[in-house]
Each structure stands twice: as structure tokens, then as C-alpha cells.
Chain A
Amino acid sequence: DVKVTQSSRYLVKRTGEKVFLECVQDMDHENMFWYRQDPGLGLRLIYFSYDVKMKEKGDIPEGYSVSREKKERFSLILESASTNQTSMYLCASTTSGSHEQYFGPGTRLTVT
């Protein structure tokens, strides 16, 4: 079974803090994605990566950056957390030959 893990299930940070969310997949998938999930808005793509050190902006990249130094690991960075970044963050991965994405459990981030 594909397994996608995320570093924290719940996180509380203060405004202005730098926040790191980590995602690890164990299936050697080329593509990895970061979404945020908000009620009534579904999943919105923040960033994705199609290879080590390669990244592309998604639909809502402002206020975020990413890092992919190893194939299995994809990090989302909030450079200076703000209250409007309070959300559920989901990581997903897929092989290059498929659109079927496998999701992690999510990190519920609260910024106070």
C-alpha cells in the first residue's frame, strides 16, 4: 500500500512564525503536491513538484514556498505565518504515469 505521511496532525503557531510542514511518501512517486482544504472551497493546489529540486506554483502560492531535496520528501514552508493561513493542509503523491493521487492524513494548522 502507498503510504503518505505528514509530520504533524495538529499544529498551532503564532503570527509571523516560520512554519515547516513535511510530507514523506514511500512509493518512489515522481510527483508530489501540497493543497489546502477549506470548507466550501474544496482542495486548492499550492505548489507541486515533478522531480527532485523541481517545483511549480499551483493556484494559490502566495505566502508559501516549498522544498524537495529528496524524492520521497516534500516540504511546505510558510515564511511568515498569518491568520488567513489557518487551514487543513494535505499532501499527495502520484507516479508520473497516473493521475490517481494518494493523500496523507493532513495537518490542521492554526495561526493565532
Chain B
Amino acid sequence: AQSVSQHNHHVILSEAASLELGCNYSYGGTVNLFWYVQYPGQHLQLLLKYFSGDPLVKGIKGFEAEFIKSKFSFNLRKPSVQWSDTAEYFCAVNGGGYNKLIFGAGTRLAVHP
């Protein structure tokens, strides 16, 4: 069965620190990979996505992610976080028909000024 594993449930960083959130997936077919973000009190929104091509994808707000097929990974990175990046981050992979997604458990990021 398809699954997504996010390694860290809670991450605490100071502003300007670098961020890397791990995501590993289990899926045998062609993967579409996503990172969604949920800021406090707001909708879940798309941060970035990978469908094909360049395995390094750039998203909004300076985030990027790298698809490493051999490691079944799609880690999220940002070189220098800001207090406004405080949010919960979810990794997702397409899971079967009807455009379903399988989500990871999420990582709560707290950035301290």
C-alpha cells in the first residue's frame, strides 16, 4: 500500500537557520509529489509540486524540494527560515485512481525570532 513518512513531527528553529524536512514515500508507479503548508488558522495550500523533469523544484516563499528516486524521497528545504514560516507542513504522493493523495502525518515547524 502507498504510504508517506515524515521523519520529524516537531521542529523548532531560530530565524535565519536552514530548514530540511524529510519525506519518504512508498509507491510503485509514476509519482506526483506535493508539499502543502497550513499556516495557523488558514487553509491548506500548495507549496510546491513535482510531476516530472528537473528533480529540483522551486515553490513559493523560497522553498524548494528535491526528488531523489533511488531514495524514494522528496525533502523540503529552505536556506533561511523566517518567523512567518511557522506552520504545519504536509508531504503527499498520488495514491491510486481518481486523483487521490496520500498524506504524511505532518511536521509542525516553529520559528523563533
Contacts and interface: CB of A to CB of B under 8 A. Distances in A.
Interface of A: 4, 31, 33, 35, 40-45, 48, 50, 56, 58, 90, 92, 94-96, 98-101, 103-106
B43 A40 contact: no
B69 to A, nearest CB: 18
> Is chain B's interface secondary structure helix, strand, loop, or mixed overall?
strand
Interface in B87-113: 90, 94, 98-101, 103-106
Given A42-B105, A42-B106, A43-B90, A103 B98 contact: no
Point out which of B36, B100, B103 has the most chain A C-beta atoms below 10 A from its C-beta. B100
Interface of B: 4, 6, 9, 32, 34, 36, 42-46, 49, 90, 94, 98-101, 103-106
A-B pairs with the 5 shortest C-beta distances? A103-B44, A43-B103, A42-B105, A42-B103, A99-B32
> Is chain A's interface secondary structure helix, strand, loop, or mixed overall?
strand
B106 A106 contact: no
B90 A105 contact: no
Contacts of A31: 98-99
